[in-house]
Amino acid sequence: MKTERLFDQDAYRTDFDARVVSCEPVAERAWEIVLDRTAFYPEGGGQWSDTGTLEPEGAPAGASKPFVIHAEDRDGVIVHRTDAPIPAGTRVHGQILWDRRFDMMQQHTGEHILSGLICRSFHCDNVGFHIGRDVVTLDFNRGLSDADVQRMENAANRVIRENLPVEIRLYRPEELEGLQYRSKKPIPGDVRIVNIPGADTCACCGTHVAATGQVGILTVVSRMNYKGGVRIAIRCGERARTWLVTVRDDYQGACRLLSIQEALCTEVERLLGERDALKAQTVLLASRLFDQTAAAERDKPVRVAVAEDMTGAGLTHAAGRLGTGAVYALALLPRPEGGWQFALTGAADVRPAAKALCERFGGKGGGRPEMAQGMLLSGEPEAFRALLEGLVP
């Protein structure tokens, strides 16, 4: 016997009475309960299931109520997973968690509005939809620019402000002829259609608000290229408001730290320019300092010098300058976590010497005959020098 789906009749219904048809244990402290009727929406179509409680008839006042952790549809039979059993035949009073349900209604309706507008405007298909814990993701099978997405976000919020009715109706197969609606796959039999005038007409089994104004606001969080198309992440309603408050607080906090009133991006660009200039100056000074250190090694067959505040690329150039005329030249860069990054060059194939360093002091490296690079996990410069001097023919 299929379960009567009360949420299809009224998405705003939060409680109901029903009878337990069956109750089966499925895991430790987990049971699957089937009711003859339910207001618990089962997970599906990209939307989470409802959660809530089932209170057995005649239960003592104050007794804990079995909690519905999850609901799913199995060929028309809705199965409720609970944390406590209820015997078959028991009358129960169900109560869904409204905040979770209304969040799903806002997110799902917002998705319809934006998807419908994008598909109409750009003649593409919505090929993926998922309500996540933080954001809702929408996938489309064509690319969209940031400007395209912003234009569609503005259009979606106009639809929300107009407070248009969200019309839901079950159509028989013969009524569908000539009706243009979105659907990811053919649907046999009767089809439930959600229509938002001027924005979307789509086959859907989810729960939705009664009018677009109840979505509140729709905010695009991100846009990325995805599988030859685009993936857009959005937040609607309270999710959007909470996120915007966080963004506002971060913005104001950053402005206070930088002692500015506005134009944060302009100030950040200026600071990044200063940072890059300082980096370039630091690299130049580090190179000059290394050359002064290397000067003391100039007449030695094995030369070892430490480079401070230098990049990895700069280290190989430093080793090249140090190695002119040397049997071995080892340039070292201290690693923040301990040990050394090294670049080794010399008059002959330096790879055996690099291998000997790594075996003795721990680490790894490799490279070409004329230049080996890697890291050493322990040891000090003079110990490295002693090992290399022992390898000189």
* pLDDT tens-digit readout, 97-156: 999 999 999 999 999 999 999 999 999 999 999 999 999 999 999 999 999 999 999 999
Domain that holds residue 231: 102-255
Is there a domain that residue 268 lies in? no
Is there a domain that residue 155 lies in? yes
Same-domain pairing of 67 and 133: no
Q: Are strands 30-35 and 37-38 parallel, antiparallel or unpaired?
A: unpaired
Is there a domain that residue 110 lies in? yes
| pLDDT at residue 312, as a whole number | 65
* pLDDT category of residue 361 using cuts at 50, 70 and 90: very high
- Top pLDDT among 164 and 61 is at 164
Same-domain pairing of 126 and 245: yes
Mean pLDDT, range 78-99, rounded to an integer: 96
Mean pLDDT, range 200-209, rounded to an integer: 93
Same-domain pairing of 188 and 228: yes
Of the chain, the percentage scoring pLDDT greater than 70 comes to: 99
Highest mean pLDDT, choosing among 35-44, 181-190, 247-256, 299-308? 35-44
96, 119, 141 — which closes off a domain?
A: 96
96, 127, 142 — which closes off a domain?
A: 96
* pLDDT category of residue 307 using cuts at 50, 70 and 90: confident
Q: Quick one: which of 102, 72, 337, 52 has its CA closest to 208?
A: 102
Is there a domain that residue 373 lies in? yes
Q: 351 φ, ψ to 5°?
A: -65, -40
Highest mean pLDDT, choosing among 173-187, 263-277, 289-303? 173-187
| Residue 352: how many other CB atoms lie within 10 Å | 12
Tokens coding 185: 């796959």
> What is the domain count for the chain?
3
Tokens coding 28: 């430790």
Given a contact cutoff of 8 angstroms between Cβ atoms, the answer to whether 119 and 126 are in contact is yes
The DSSP secondary structure of 184-235, one letter per residue, reads SS---S-EEEEEETTTEEEE--S---SBGGGG--EEEEEEEEETTEEEEEEE
Tell me, what CATH number does 138's domain have?
A: 3.30.980.10
| Residue 53: how many other CB atoms lie within 10 Å | 17
Q: How far is CA 44 from CA 207, 215, 283, in A?
A: 11, 20, 56
- Top pLDDT among 252 and 34 is at 34
Same-domain pairing of 227 and 315: no
Same-domain pairing of 245 and 301: no
Tokens coding 99: 């905040």
Same-domain pairing of 292 and 219: no
Is there a domain that residue 270 lies in? no
Same-domain pairing of 149 and 248: yes
C-alpha to C-alpha distance for 182 and 195, rounded to whole angstroms: 10
Q: Which H or E run includes 24?
A: strand 15-27
Of the chain, the percentage scoring pLDDT greater than 90 comes to: 63
Is there a domain that residue 386 lies in? yes
Question: Is the per-residue pLDDT at 168 higher than 90?
Answer: yes
Question: Is the per-residue pLDDT at 292 higher than 90?
Answer: no
Per residue in 221-243, pLDDT tens? Answer: 999 999 999 999 999 999 999 99
* pLDDT category of residue 288 using cuts at 50, 70 and 90: confident
Tell me, what CATH number does 289's domain have?
A: 3.10.310.40
Q: How far is CA 114 from CA 125, 160, 220, in A?
A: 12, 10, 10
C-alpha to C-alpha distance for 332 and 280, rounded to whole angstroms: 20
Same-domain pairing of 387 and 300: yes
64, 80, 96 — which closes off a domain?
A: 96
* Mean per-residue pLDDT over the chain, rounded: 90
Mean pLDDT, range 376-386, rounded to an integer: 92
Is there a domain that residue 274 lies in? no
Same-domain pairing of 158 and 139: yes
Mean pLDDT, range 297-322, rounded to an integer: 81
Is there a domain that residue 371 lies in? yes
Mean pLDDT, range 45-65, rounded to an integer: 90
Same-domain pairing of 250 and 157: yes
Same-domain pairing of 110 and 242: yes
Same-domain pairing of 133 and 220: yes
